[in-house]
Amino acid sequence: MAAITTLESHRCFGGVQGFHEHASSTVGLPMRFGVYLPPQAGQGPRPVLYCLAGLTCNEQTFAIKAGAQQHAAAHGLVLVTPDTSPRNTGVAEADADWDFGTAAGFYLDATREPYARHWRMESWLMEELPLVLAANFPVDLERCGILGHSMGGHGALTLALRHPGRFRSVSAFAPICAPMEVPWGQKAFGGYLGDDPAAWSAHDAVRLIESGARAPELLVDQGADDPFLATQLRPDRLEQACAQAGQPLLLRRHAGYDHGYFCIQSFISEHVVSHARALL
């Protein structure tokens, strides 16, 4: 189960950026992921920072575009970039839309057919992938943080809230904060989970916080010129829920910045430093 195939390997800031594949028993298909090993990895197990990408992305997107490796190298953090969905599933409608299906797994386990068989992203990320990492890389899985962008920001928030104690640090760029209230989330939840509001609430960061779930302080960066800000992301709802519940939140709004990786590149060093403080 833990055997991997290395697809690419690149020297990077004194460490190694690799992209790998393994036969996932959880998903029932091959799954890909990236691992950046910092120079310090040769000295023994290092803390892990999971980096979850957004809609239309794959395991290479964050690794190539975010510019995080130089900062991970400075602090000795392993970066793990999972793919965003199963691939080549044989489900015809999975490729019909850019915001649902392939490259749009929303980091949950689907319960509605035909997606329930392969769309098991939460179980893969939280149960199987850590075993694969432990068997093949010098990682300290007792010291893990998680960050994400957009759909991946949703994933970072909800996985930390749903699995208390698993992550010592949590951050997000432009996350989908209240998916039950916005079109991206409603489409994904309806397609993957059906019509049960309770099932939806279990994967909505705002609803989780309102129902008592807690995580370490959330660091969230949001571009004020993000075209999806009001219609899809709703950080105001996260801010409101955290204030009412006493969930620590540092929400930073940045004038002139949009939704893309130029915003992430501008602030990724601060996120890595924040995670390093909690993990080292």
Q: How far is CA 196 from CA 189, 203, 209, 248, 251, in A?
A: 9, 12, 19, 29, 31
Q: In this structure, what token pair is assigned to residue 277?
A: 């403080």
> For the CA atoms of the chain, what is the radius of gyration?
17
Cβ atoms of 279 and 145 closer than 8 Å: yes
- Kindly name the residue from 22, 24, 71, 150 that is annotated as catalytic: 150
Q: In this structure, what token pair is assigned to residue 270?
A: 């601060």
Bridge-based pairing state of the strands 46-52 and 139-149: parallel
Q: Sign (positive/negative) of CA torsion 138, 147, 105, 211?
A: positive
- Kindly name the residue from 259, 271, 274, 275 that is annotated as catalytic: 259
Q: Is 25 a catalytic residue?
A: no
Q: What is the 3-state secondary structure (H, E, C) of 129-198?
A: HHHHHHHHCCEEEEEEEEEEECHHHHHHHHHHHHCCCCCCEEEEECCCCCHHHCHHHHHHHHHHHCCCHH
Q: Is 140 a catalytic residue?
A: no
- Kindly name the residue from 109, 154, 226, 271 that is annotated as catalytic: 226
Q: Is 211 a catalytic residue?
A: no
Cα separation, 35 vs 138, in Å, equals 11
Our CA dihedral for 29, 35, 41, 44, rounded to 10 degrees, sits at -30
Q: In this structure, what token pair is assigned to residue 259?
A: 């939704």
Using a 10 angstrom Cβ sphere, with 0-12 exposed, 13-18 middle and 19 or more buried, the burial of residue 210 is middle
List residues with catalytic annotation: 150, 226, 259
